[in-house]
Amino acid sequence: MSETQVIGPSVAVPETHKHADGGPFGIKGLAWAIFEGARNPYYNLIVIYVFAPYFATEMAGGGGHGLSLSGFTITIAGIITALTAPFLGVIADKAGRRKPPLAFFMALMILCSVSLWWARPEGPLTMWPTMGVLAIAYCCYGYSEVLHNAMLPTAGRPSALPIISGLGLSMGNILSVGILIFFLFGLLLPGTGIPGAPAEQIIPLDRAAHEPQRFSGPFVAVWMAVLLIPFFLFMPDGVKGGKTWKQSAADVFRGEDRDSGKAQSLRQRAAVLLQYLKDLFRDQPETMRFLIARTIYADAMSALLTLGAVFAGTFLGWTGVEILFFGITGVLFGAVGGFVGGFLDRWLGPKLALVWEISALVILLLAQLSITPDSLFFGLMPAGEPVWDSPFFDSLADITYFLFVIPVAIAVVASISSSRYMLVHIAPRERIGEFFGLYAIAGTVTVWMGPGIVSLLTWITGNQRIGMGGIGFMFLAGLIILWKVHAPKRGFDS
């Protein structure tokens, strides 16, 4: 058996997935999963629940303008990632080693996170530079996801991969819950006089200057630096792909094979790539159809997650504390979603599980968008008056929108877990590593589309609900393509 196999235009990847062993709670599986526990809190604190609403309301002007600029930042970062991540994936496949670039991108994310402490309307890090920092960190997050997901086949035996995948998501969510609770009860609520709130902050920070929100950057920087250690110590990096990173980059960017010294023309390289894609669609049509569907509905989920809390702050007028309560609840029940997805996968098979999960998200999104600060169901039921004496979520509209986060979070995380398992389920065993690489790249190539559609529709119409409604059409498009995928209820791993 050869050490590597060719999967595309001059791309060789290690066959370590053929030799991978170990269960979901082995040292490799836990090391792979803890990476998400180290990285995912960045997404929950910075991109969704703590820093992003502060940026949209205080630095970007609030309202539709704030939502539009938040979506624009993610869109620009997503386009950059889409144009560069495929090259990164090919270079990594050629070189084999993924830990060195992972370490670089995570270090850059840490530096960007630290700098958010100085993000204020009056400077020194004003709105546009802050958008630049957020875009760089978002690109690094996408690159790290490509490399980390591509390492999943080496984290355990094939039958353990869906559990390892769900474990990583659940670990990321559970740890994020702890961090969000710390911010809520340790930094935002103390000294407010609200019943049950502590008397003093754990760390003295000025709430009037939004220091707790800005402190989220340095906090997650330290968090990532510490929790990444087990991954880099215990997760195997795989077998070398036969080239150095310098040689691989030269091959990809200059069309030059440094072993033979012969350069390929751009037309030759394009022809090879096109033939490779044609072969994939001819030999594995169902797997490729699934990857297309997953790309579309994953973009919709990304937009729903990244802009949902911003929407609550800019449209419903929620405070930072309310958004944090909202986030804690969502992340907590999201951890349950990893296990729900695993149960549905085993009961229905991953395809039907995904159909149910995405269909639920379409219905839930429509119900959420029917809520305004004053009414429910598109104005059919008044809901703006206080229904109880509380400093938070006092109206029926606020309570209803808040409660919707529970099924939404469960469905989102369940669908992420089911998507990973679906690929393990339908991809050929001997090419599972190759298709996980394609899966990782497909998750970043069009990640800008969802936020871009929301940003564009909001800018054109001036209506935030219409902007967010674009997410629903993406869910439906992905669902239609997914329905056409032919997949047995039981895969090779059963």
Residue 292 lies in a domain: yes
What residues have CB less than 8 Å from 252, skipping those under 6 apart? 87, 90, 91, 94
CATH number at residue 83: 1.20.1250.20
Contact of 421 with 350, CB cutoff 8 Å: yes
Tell me what pLDDT residue 229 has: 94
pLDDT digits (tens, 9 = 90+) for 43-101: 888 988 889 888 888 888 777 777 778 777 877 887 787 777 767 766 776 666 788 88
- What is the mean predicted confidence (pLDDT) over 444-458? 73
How many domains would you assign to the chain? 1
Residue 418 lies in a domain: yes
Q: How far apart are CA 462 and CA 427, in angstroms?
A: 44
Residue 1 confidence (pLDDT) above 80: no
Question: CB neighbours (10 Å) of residue 359?
Answer: 14
DSSP annotation string for 226-263:
HHHHHHHHHS------SS-HHHHHHHHHH-EETTTTEE
Residue 11 lies in a domain: no
443 confidence band (pLDDT: 50, 70, 90) = low
Burial 408-417 (b: 16+ CB within 10 A, else e): bbbbbbbbbb
Residue 157 confidence (pLDDT) above 90: no
Contact of 399 with 332, CB cutoff 8 Å: no
288 confidence band (pLDDT: 50, 70, 90) = confident
Residue 347 lies in a domain: yes
Residue 18 lies in a domain: no
Residue 261 confidence (pLDDT) above 60: no
Residue 187 confidence (pLDDT) above 50: yes
Which tokens hold the place of 32?
Answer: 């792979």
Burial 309-348 (b: 16+ CB within 10 A, else e): bbbbbbbbebebbbbbbbbbbbbbbbbbbbbbbbebbeee
Residue 327 lies in a domain: yes
Tell me what pLDDT residue 428 has: 75
What residues have CB less than 8 Å from 231, skipping those under 6 apart? 31, 32, 34, 35, 38
Tell me what pLDDT residue 109 has: 96
Tell me what pLDDT residue 5 has: 30
| Per-chain mean pLDDT for the chain | 79
* Domain extent for 68: 25-249+276-483
Residue 1 lies in a domain: no
Q: Is the dihedral of CA 64, 69, 72, 77 positive or negative?
A: negative
- Residue 49, H or E segment: none
Tell me what pLDDT residue 327 has: 80
pLDDT digits (tens, 9 = 90+) for 104-151: 999 999 999 999 999 998 888 999 999 999 999 988 998 888 788 778
- Whether pTM exceeds 0.95: no
Question: CB neighbours (10 Å) of residue 39?
Answer: 25
What residues have CB less than 8 Å from 336, skipping those under 6 apart? 410, 413
Helices (H), 284-395: 285-314, 320-348, 350-369
Residue 490 lies in a domain: no
Give the C-alpha distances (Å, rounded to integers) separating 160 from 166, 229, 238, 459, 478.
Answer: 10, 23, 18, 45, 27
Q: How far apart are CA 132 and CA 101, in angstroms?
A: 21
Contact of 82 with 153, CB cutoff 8 Å: no
